[in-house]
Structure 1
């Protein structure tokens, strides 16, 4: 008997995709096409506890294979899902904490919708700290990039991008909430960054998904890192505006690690 399919509401779909960072909870490889999977295989059961995000490859592993059964059973998918959601939350919390750790007169990175923009003195203090944050993130990532081990290199890029996303969240506190479609900052930036992963993966494999080999993940990580660095630059430039009280050129030279 065919099972009745009930459409997942946009709110639930957005929540599932955001909490999973729009990434498959099993392979956790960013930029791959994903879909929302019903863990119990009942397409009418759209409770959040029954939903997970899987890439197309891993979703195939939930299907019956010959006489050997499923490679990914419901309990196993649930375990992967729960571990991944916890990891995503921890990453975001760590990135937020690190992003403001050096700021004089720290601001609170709360998720309140109240439009309480910190004073200009806090902005300048935060801008001063950002090049140092980037330097520390790079110092942590570089040995892993130099390892030559694909999985290690990819994870280093993910961690670097997460750190920069924390900076973006910090900068967003100096904007009106309306500037980001009234979304929670991490949700807004996560959506953009995920789209950059999808873009770089798509154009890097002209023959189709999966044809570029494992190096594609590493290439995408480097490309998205550059994209997110540019996002930080853009936000800093916009916040400084045409003010003569803060030097964009000086900040840019520090950001690019050039002699001042």
Structure 2
């Protein structure tokens, strides 16, 4: 009886999970995020990174701090017009190779909400290095009104929020194009509507964000690196990988140290076992 009740409870739990999954999927489709007609095309383009990949990739990857600083510059001069970095403080810039004085000076170039000490009215003041990066809009209503009714997402964790995030960001930034003739022929309704832009790396192929990086030289790098579209896209993708997981490289280093310790401890345990059981002879079985 108890076993039967357990089986029924398990079946009920499985049914609820399956129902929740089906309901969630139908809701997503109903919202137009991924239509049935274009589902097979939604991810037909595999996200890819720059030629040669990123330096932080792989088990022995490390940060390229000059690239991270260039990526910060791209974010500041291009992306920050629409996107926030709510979970990153200016003091965190010291992790990119900036000194404390440089981070404080950089923070002072940004404006954050403040209070006028003379009048008590709300105003904008230069940011302190303990402040977090400010949002470009006062609220979601203003953000939607300025972006074709689409609220630009915060970029702090974007590289972790998307599958293969670093490559996804790079592919998305460099992937704007006209829809293929094959796609339009098979699905005429998939053509981007007013205020939308086609990008095969985006989930439903068309997004409200206009191409943010449009031409070579859009940013003048402080270190003199040639600012091609591909270079700027790779740099900001690396920077957003750092904002999403600043301890990425340290975690890899700690992981290798732990593996080394476990390997050494395993060898010691094996020798200890041999020593402890050296004088013990196995008993013979009697047939």
* TM-score, structure 2 normalization: 0.20
More helix per residue: 1
* TM-score, structure 1 normalization: 0.21
